[in-house]
Amino acid sequence: MPINLVLCEDKHIILNSIKASLEKAAKQNGIDANICLMTDNPKRIIEYSRQYSQGVNAYFLDINLETDMNGLELAKQIRSHDPHSYITFITGHLELCMTVFKYHIEAFEYLVKPVSYQAIEECLISIDKQYSQYLSNQKYNKDAMIIIRSGICDYRVELYDIIYVESINQKLVVHTRSRNIEFFGYLKDIIKDLNKNGESFYRCHRSYIININHVKEVNYRDSSIIMSNGEKCYMSRQQKSEMRNILGRMGQDYDDII
């Protein structure tokens, strides 16, 4: 399935430059990606996200849109319709990137204007790599799913979509890429179901089980782990050495702060 590239930028010169760079990067690196929409109108982007959320969509959004909706508000709308998409922000003011957390948006990357071809190429390669990893982790059968009962509802959740599980008193909160699910249970029981299809989930703390595939940054100084959605988990002091070993075996490159 190709990656659908969707661009929203109100400066047409910049918009055309990004389009050309993405097309060149896709061709030179053998990436199956197509420009599906490029516009300066946020409403067209929202409509696209409503209609084509089943595809693999990568949005490139200018934060400082000179319209009635800025890039952050647009991204929030996109997330409500297309929760699994890749969102890259483009801005001339790097400090604005910090406001992303206030909107609770999971951003894939930030590109600072003027955006170079190299930055576009690296971003597209990273998106393709993560999508390929997602496909390799999916076996498209029941073993890649978990059924979670919360109250009177049963939720069928793909294992790769689970970012981490948090224990609060006697409740568990399963944090996924699109929602949180609460139910009564214990970490020692759910980790058996999570790892029935492999060893992607690791209990790093008495209150947390993390999905190794969603680890973005590890700070060994304050024992914190930043996940792909920007949220923070913690590891116990006893688990630091094992965490290094696990990440080392996976060949991952994380922020290693002693």
Note the pLDDT of residue 249. Answer: 59
Facing residues of 145 across strands? Answer: 158
Note the pLDDT of residue 103. Answer: 58
Same domain, 130 and 20: yes
pLDDT along the chain (258 residues), means of 10: 92 95 97 95 94 87 86 89 88 65 73 93 94 66 75 88 93 92 93 82 94 88 91 91 73 42
143 domain residue, yes or no: no
Residues 6+ apart with CB under 8 A from 173: 165, 166, 167, 180, 181, 182
Per DSSP, the residues of 77-115 read HHHHH-TT-EEEEEES-GGGGGGGGGGT---SEEEESSP
Domain holding 212, by residue range, is: 157-257
Instruction: Indicate the residue among 137, 165, 181 that finishes a domain.
Output: 137
Same domain, 214 and 104: no
The CATH number assigned to the domain holding 43 equals 3.40.50.2300
216 domain residue, yes or no: yes
Overall number of domains in the chain: 2
Note the pLDDT of residue 100. Answer: 59
Same domain, 72 and 195: no
Q: Where are the alpha helices (DSSP H) in the chain?
A: 12-28, 42-51, 71-81, 117-137, 187-194, 240-250
Whole-prediction pTM: 0.56
